[in-house]
């Protein structure tokens, strides 16, 4: 069974559109958990375009809600994470002008900073993950950095599947990456751009232990309700 992390960033996007408190983030997290999510994922971006510091503060008080905090690799974010003590941290690259997280981390360039931050988080018993492109070299570096998990950026393969382009080469590469990561003791997660079809294809890979899905879940829930969307993903995750 693959764990399902529901990313509720875009509940905050909707709330922020009015500048008030509806839809409420804590209620969304509780509702999503009640309806079968295994964890809640939030990305506290540098520009705070969706999730705000106060959302993290409020959610952190509820220890029954496992929080996966996505964050950039810098001292300011590290201090925020150490204070909030989420169950999990996934370090992601961040560019202020991008629409979403458009690729994996540059591990080579940021090796020392990542290693230092991951080390501190590991010592605090926060599960650590690195959001990476599906490349063997990046998996090797993730291990050297000391992360416990990797999250494979599935944006490229998802785009190809959705636009009915050939994706077999990408899938073969992801399979090889998953097997290699597993063999060297890294837990494998996957996320970005996933919908029912792409998640179903990737759910066949037994090495993948967790999906983190946001935009599609929130978007689709407009039509059928978030409880039904989660139910459908849980079936895929089985
Ligand atoms: N995983 C990570 C590390 C992400 O940065 C994101 C996007 O914020 C997701 C998963 C979810 O992607 P999507 O919203 O496309 O499902």
179 Cα–ligand 1 center, Å: 22
Residues 6+ apart with CB under 8 A from 158: 192, 193, 194, 195, 198
- Sign (positive/negative) of CA torsion 216, 219, 224, 225? positive
* Residues designated catalytic: 43, 70, 192
What is the radius of gyration, based on Cα positions, of the chain?
17
Q: Output the residue whose Cα is nearest ligand 1's atom 5.
A: 101
| Domains, the chain, with CATH or none | 3-237 (3.20.20.70)
Q: pLDDT tens per residue, the chain (238 residues)?
A: 999 999 999 999 999 999 999 999 999 999 999 999 999 999 999 999 999 999 999 999 999 999 999 999 999 999 999 999 999 999 999 877 777 777 899 999 999 999 999 999 999 999 999 999 999 999 999 999 999 999 999 999 999 999 999 999 999 999 999 999 999 999 999 999 999 999 999 999 999 999 999 999 999 999 999 999 999 999 999 9
Q: What is the DSSP letter of 42?
A: E
Report the pocket of ligand 1 as residue ranges, CB < 6 Å.
7, 9, 43, 70, 90, 92, 100-101, 131, 151, 191-194, 212-216
107 Cα–ligand 1 center, Å: 18
66-88: buried (b, 16+ CB within 10 Å) or exposed (e) per residue? bbbbbbbbeeebbebbeebebbb
The CA distance from 73 to 63, in Å, is 24
Instruction: Please answer whether residues 112 and 118 qualify as being in contact, where contact means their C-beta atoms are separated by less than 8 angstroms.
Output: no
């Amino acid at each position: 069974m693959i764990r399902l992390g529901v990313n509720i960033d875009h509940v905050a996007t909707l709330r922020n559109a009015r500048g008030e408190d509806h839809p409420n983030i804590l209620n969304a997290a509780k509702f999503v958990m009640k309806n079968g999510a295994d964890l809640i994922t939030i990305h506290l971006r540098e520009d705070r375009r969706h999730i705000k510091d106060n959302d993290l503060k409020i959610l952190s008080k509820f220890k029954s809600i496992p929080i996966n905090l996505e964050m950039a690799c810098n001292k300011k974010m590290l201090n925020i994470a150490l204070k909030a003590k989420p169950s999990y941290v996934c370090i992601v690259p961040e560019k202020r002008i991008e629409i979403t997280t458009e690729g994996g981390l540059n591990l080579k360039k940021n090796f020392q900073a990542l290693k230092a931050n991951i080390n501190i988080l590991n010592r605090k018993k926060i599960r650590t993950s690195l959001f990476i492109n599906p490349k063997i070299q990046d998996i090797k570096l993730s291990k050297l950095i000391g992360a416990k998990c990797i999250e494979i950026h599935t944006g490229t393969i998802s785009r190809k599947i959705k636009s009915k382009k050939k994706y077999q080469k990408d899938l073969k590469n992801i399979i090889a990456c998953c097997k290699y990561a597993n063999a060297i003791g890294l837990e494998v997660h996957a996320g970005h751009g996933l919908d029912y079809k792409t998640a179903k294809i990737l759910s066949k890979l037994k090495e993948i232990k967790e999906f983190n899905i946001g935009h599609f879940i929130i978007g689709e829930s407009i039509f059928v309700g978030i409880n039904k969307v989660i139910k459908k993903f849980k079936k895929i995750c089985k």
